């Protein structure tokens, strides 16, 4: 069974106004103090949290697991710890992919972030977005690149499922995932061509770094990439999701995609040669529509209903889901999302009900930690 891990970026917000708060340093200091207490009690001194680009957000990474129930427990635990550490710093945490309220983000200190700010200017300064990254283990770089080549057409569907960023600077963006549009301003972000082999993948990465536009391999922001840290494929297209069950659904689908692609590679089946230009259109369509409009069908690259496209993804990976024991969880998760909507629909419904973006944030804080939408 392939192991799975999830990274989530969370927004730090004010309990009073719902506005983002630049308190990442204080939150991480609280996490460090918690580690110190663990060490004093004889426990293992570690925590799951790291700083991200902006002071208004924190990131955690789950431990790798093979069972989706364990993954959900990990996500709930990490979100709970984030809430506790944030509370000690005077903040709340929300699984929002962009701030509904106007924000003036501030870069975290450090040479790398300073370089990003200088190199990319407003693109970096405005980049207050929170994503969800899914890691799935692979046996080798060769298998990993074979997987990357074969999952390309399906990644936009994951953006649609996870879309949770309809608001930007206090306005309705008209997008379900405006995070995906802001993120894709960065020069190395987005879909890539078929690589064909691990050697050609690494050659492409080196060529990008040799330009001097990017500082290090961590700035290879492909929609899916080989992790520079772990023996995994890392899928990076999803918004952070309101409910803790949704990233588990995404993780199960990504593992299904990885396993399905690896089997196709071993069987000698070539990857689809759909152009990167078409994949960019599919990604735009997914960010615009979410689950509330048409998507581009990965098999035809023509518009189809969101439900048809999501069910096509399920059918594509169903054999792998059955063998991993994830089939029932994924079927129920997809049905629930198609019925009640993703985070973007929930946020818009909250605004319609309560009339203010501050109330949207307040209710989303609750949903982040298990309250009903």
Show me where the domains of the chain are located: 4-368
Give me the average pLDDT of each 10-residue run along the chain (373 residues). 97 97 96 72 72 97 97 97 97 98 96 96 96 98 98 98 98 98 97 98 97 96 95 98 98 98 98 97 98 98 98 98 98 97 98 98 97 81
| pLDDT attached to residue 47 | 86
| pLDDT attached to residue 44 | 55
| pLDDT attached to residue 372 | 80
CATH number for the region 4-368 comes to 3.30.590.20
For residues 135 and 4, is the Cβ–Cβ distance under 8 A? Answer: yes
Angle value at C-alpha 288, between 11 and 351, nearest 5 degrees = 55
pTM of the model: 0.96
| pLDDT attached to residue 238 | 98
| pLDDT attached to residue 39 | 46
């Amino acid at each position: 069974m392939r192991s799975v891990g999830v990274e989530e970026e969370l927004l730090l917000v004010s309990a009073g106004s719902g506005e983002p708060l630049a308190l990442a340093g204080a939150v991480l200091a609280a996490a460090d103090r918690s580690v110190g207490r663990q060490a004093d009690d004889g426990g293992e001194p570690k925590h799951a949290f790291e700083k991200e680009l902006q002071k208004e957000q924190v990131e955690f990474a789950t431990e790798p697991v093979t069972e989706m129930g364990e993954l959900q427990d990990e996500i709930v635990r990490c979100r709970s710890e984030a809430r506790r550490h944030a509370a000690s710093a005077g903040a709340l945490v929300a699984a929002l992919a962009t701030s509904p309220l106007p924000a003036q983000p501030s870069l975290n200190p450090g040479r790398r972030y300073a370089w990003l700010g200088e190199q990319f200017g407003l693109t970096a300064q405005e980049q207050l977005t929170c994503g969800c990254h899914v890691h799935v283990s692979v046996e080798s770089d060769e298998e990993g690149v074979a997987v990357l080549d074969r999952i390309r057409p399906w990644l936009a569907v994951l953006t649609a499922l996870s879309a949770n960023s309809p608001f930007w600077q206090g306005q309705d963006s008209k997008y379900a995932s405006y995070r995906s549009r802001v993120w894709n301003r960065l020069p190395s972000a987005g879909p890539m061509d078929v690589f064909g082999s691990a050697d050609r993948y690494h050659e492409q990465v080196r060529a990008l770094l040799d330009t001097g536009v990017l500082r290090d391999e961590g700035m290879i922001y492909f929609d899916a990439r080989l992790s520079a840290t772990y023996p995994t494929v890392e899928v990076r297209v999803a918004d952070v999701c309101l409910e803790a069950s949704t990233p588990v659904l995404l993780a199960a689908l990504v593992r299904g995609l990885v396993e399905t692609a690896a089997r196709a590679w071993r069987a000698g089946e070539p990857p689809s040669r759909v152009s990167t230009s078409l994949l960019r259109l599919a990604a735009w369509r997914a960010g615009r529509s979410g689950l509330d409009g048409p998507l581009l069908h990965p098999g035809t690259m023509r518009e189809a209903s969101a439900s048809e496209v999501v069910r096509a993804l399920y059918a594509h990976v169903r054999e792998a889901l059955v063998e991993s024991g994830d089939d029932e969880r994924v079927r129920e998760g997809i049905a629930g999302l198609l019925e009640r909507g993703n985070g973007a629909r929930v946020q818009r419904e909250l605004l319609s009900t309560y009339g203010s973006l501050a109330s949207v944030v307040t209710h989303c804080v609750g949903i982040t930690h298990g309250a009903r939408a």
